[in-house]
Amino acid sequence: MAALWQFPGGIHPTGNKHQSSARAIREAGLPPALILPLHQHIGAPAQTRVEVGDHVLKGDCLADAQGPMGVPVHAPTSGAIEAISLQPVPHPSGLSDWCITLIPDGQDSWGQRHPVSDYQQHERTDILAHIRRAGIVGLGGAGFPTSVKLKPPAQDTITTLILNAAECEPYITADDRLMRERAADIIAGLDIMAWLVRPERCLIGIEDNKPEAIGALEEATRGSLIEVIVIPTRYPSGGEKQLIQILTGREVPHGGIPADIGVICQNVGTAAAVARAIHQGEPLISRITTVTGNAVGTAGNFDVRLGTPVDYLLTCAGAQDKAIQQLIHGGPMMGFTLTNPAVPVVKSTNCIIAAGTGELPGPAEEQPCIRCGACAEACPMELLPQQLFWTSKSGEFDKAEHLNLFDCIECGVCAYVCPSNIPLVQYYRHAKGEVRTRRAEQIKADQARQRFDARQARLERDQAEKEARRKERASAMVARSPLEPDQPENSKAARGAAVREALARKNRTPSSKAGSGDTPATVASPGTGASAAETTAQPPDLADLEKQLAQARNKLNTMAGMLKEAQAGNADNVDKLERAVAKNRERVTRAEQALADARTRVDATPTSTD
């Protein structure tokens, strides 16, 4: 007999499993319409690949997986796509999500299937890809993609593969009936998963309140190395971390996953789905769902197609609408209330409870915490529920994180034992949602800051390149100048001389035409100096120089105004305008110098006499 360990805390609530476990699994049949949400799993929603009006066959892919954690969605039957729209979905928020509405044609015709005849002759990566294409997720309620779970990190060596058959939550018997009737499919799926992860041991953990299922599993595993281990009935022994601790004595570290301690845990329903996907080529298009409660006439378990409306399923179970006081998706401990019975069955729908009058009393009025410590004693994760409650209620979410808020598995044990009727799990869920929202906002802020820093670096790089090109042009101009580059005064004097020479050439009179009355003395002869040319030149046009100076000053004032506005608005072209203002200021200076020189020459010109 295998050694067993115990996990801390836990409770023994009333099971209420006999109402649904006595009847064999029944087919739910085809509803008038199937509503298939694109988001039925942990990870990104699937992306539709069909359009309204398309005719599809059973098993056809309707939406492709998106991202590493995504899985596709398939057609549970043949029919026509009626709509792709927002529809109510099973979620605590009661909000709508994108769904594909499929109208069955009644033929239930299969599309092309791709079974793997001898999976051991294929690459393990190919089998994992096949499981992902089949859309298989954990059917215990979490909805984690199975292909991801069966491919642990490279640094983790898997020594133990555990099949979770505990089904510890009250009312739910879907796994119980599945093990009784389809144990061979479960073991076939376990063999496939064991071949993929190559563990040293394969264990099936099942509570001792399921004797028929225990017998069926023992018969199916006879002659194999698979161990069927019976554990005491105690809630929440079916929690992944709790079952691992019971069977191996190991604890999953804070913030870690079971693979970190060499363990992978899968649900029995998931194992059966893997077997059908590999051996029959069937994607995940249906599941076993418990329908129970005092308002149900014939409680039991149904093989129901995904997308079937809950109200249709309740009709199959003989539920009386007027007798339903509360409708719950999942179990009474970890489930949530459904406000709309038209929501569809999804991959994580393991149970629907139609509670009658007084069966599941509503929450009593919340009272102040009396600090009795009962919640801490019952917590299977050894957390501090009181402190988590206070920090969550007061909005101190950072402190709640430091108290290991995300280690809470939301099993509901703390709220079950609380004498003050405090809905502790609701506070924890709210705090987790706020923390996730803040993390997402922080990620967006970090990305925005990175984009801003990248833009600033690009602008600075462009500016540096422009400045380098400007310096290169300036260096080239200095190199072409006959003056030394380290003599700025000489350079300035040269520019002034060039301006004066240009003005002199402009105002210089041409030589006397032949036959004119002008005397040759008015024309500079070869060999005479520049002074001779200047003394014989006509006076410069002062009006024209004054006009040029006014134009230069007007342009300078305009550019200076544009620069002031750009500086006030922190515009990107401030540097460019500063260079333009400097250039126009130089032009004004040259024009003023030219005008001053011209006036000096006019004053120095002698008055002619007869």
Condensed to tens digits (0 to 9), the pLDDT of residues 237-260 reads: 999 999 999 999 999 998 899 999
**Averaged pLDDT score across all residues of the chain:** 88
Q: Can you give the CATH number for the domain in which 152 is found?
A: 3.40.50.11540
Structural domain contains residue 490: yes
Instruction: Assess if residue 78 is contained within a domain.
Output: no
Structural Rg of the chain based on CA atoms? 43
Instruction: Using pLDDT thresholds of 50, 70 and 90, give the confidence band for residue 555.
Output: confident
For the cut 90, the answer to whether the pLDDT of residue 300 exceeds it is yes
Q: Are strands 34-37 and 96-104 parallel, antiparallel or unpaired?
A: antiparallel
314 and 251, same domain (yes or no): yes
Could you read off the pLDDT of 359-414 as tens digits, one per residue?
Answer: 988 778 999 999 999 999 999 999 999 999 999 999 999 999 999 999 999 999 99
| Mean pLDDT on 560-582 | 82
Backbone CA torsion sign across 481, 484, 485, 487: negative
Both 163 and 202 in one domain: the answer is yes
pTM above 0.85, yes or no: no
Chain-centre distance of CA 250, in angstroms? Answer: 32
Residue 144 lies in a domain: yes
Mark whether 143 and 230 lie in a shared domain: yes
Instruction: Domain count for the chain, please give it.
Output: 3
Clarify whether residues 169 and 274 are in a common domain. Answer: yes
Shared-domain flag, residues 211 and 150? yes
Q: For the residues of 232-268, what is the DSSP string, one character each?
A: ---BTTTSHHHHHHHHH---PPTT--GGGGTEEEEEH
Residue-number span of the structural domain to which 145 is assigned: 18-29+124-351
Q: Give the Cα separation of 240 and 81 in Å (integer).
A: 38
Q: Which residue has the tokens 């928020």?
A: 93
The residue-averaged pLDDT of 293-320 equals: 95
- The confidence score (pLDDT) of residue 521 equals 39
Secondary structure of the chain: what % helix, strand, coil (to 5)?
45, 15, 40
Tell which wins on pLDDT, 142 or 130.
Answer: 130
Buried/exposed code over 411-422 (b: 16+ C-beta within 10 A; e: otherwise) = bbbbbbbbebeb
Q: Is residue 186 part of a domain?
A: yes
504 falls within a domain: yes
Q: What are the pLDDT digits (tens) for 493-527?
A: 666 666 777 777 666 644 444 444 443 333 344 44
Q: Are residues 234 and 128 in the same domain?
A: yes
Residues 187 and 139 in one domain: yes
Residue in 301, 306, 354 with CA at minimum distance from that of residue 332: 354
Q: Indicate if the pLDDT at residue 278 is higher than 80.
A: yes
**Domain end (from 427, 462, 497):** 462
In a domain, 357, yes or no: no
Q: Which of the four pLDDT bands, split at 50, 70 and 90, describes residue 561?
A: confident
215 and 286 together in one domain: yes
pLDDT (0 to 100) of residue 529: 42
What whole-number distance in Å separates Cα of residue 452 and Cα of residue 288?
52
- Domain end marker among 324, 351, 378: 351
**Which of 76-80, 320-324, 400-404, 512-516 comes out lowest in average pLDDT?**
512-516
Among 302, 328, 351, where does a domain finish?
A: 351
By DSSP bridging, strand 227-231 and strand 201-207 are parallel
What is the distance, to the nearest Å, from the Cα of residue 496 to the centroid of all Cα atoms in its chain?
68
What is the structure's pLDDT at 595? 85
Tell me whether residue 97 is in a domain: no
Give backbone dihedrals phi and psi of 66, rounded to 5 degrees, phi first.
-125, 125
In this structure, the answer to whether residues 343 and 370 fall within a common structural domain is no
- Is residue 505, in this structure, part of any structural domain at all? yes
Higher pLDDT, 415 or 578: 415
CB of 353 closer than 8 Å to CB of 388:
no
Residues 425, 486: one domain? no
Which residue blocks in 366-423 are alpha helix, DSSP H?
374-378, 385-393, 397-402, 413-417
286-292, strands of its sheet edge to edge: 26-27, 300-305, 286-292, 351-355, 326-329, 336-337
Tell whether 346 and 371 lie within a shared domain: no
Asked whether residue 332 falls in the same domain as residue 202, the answer is: yes
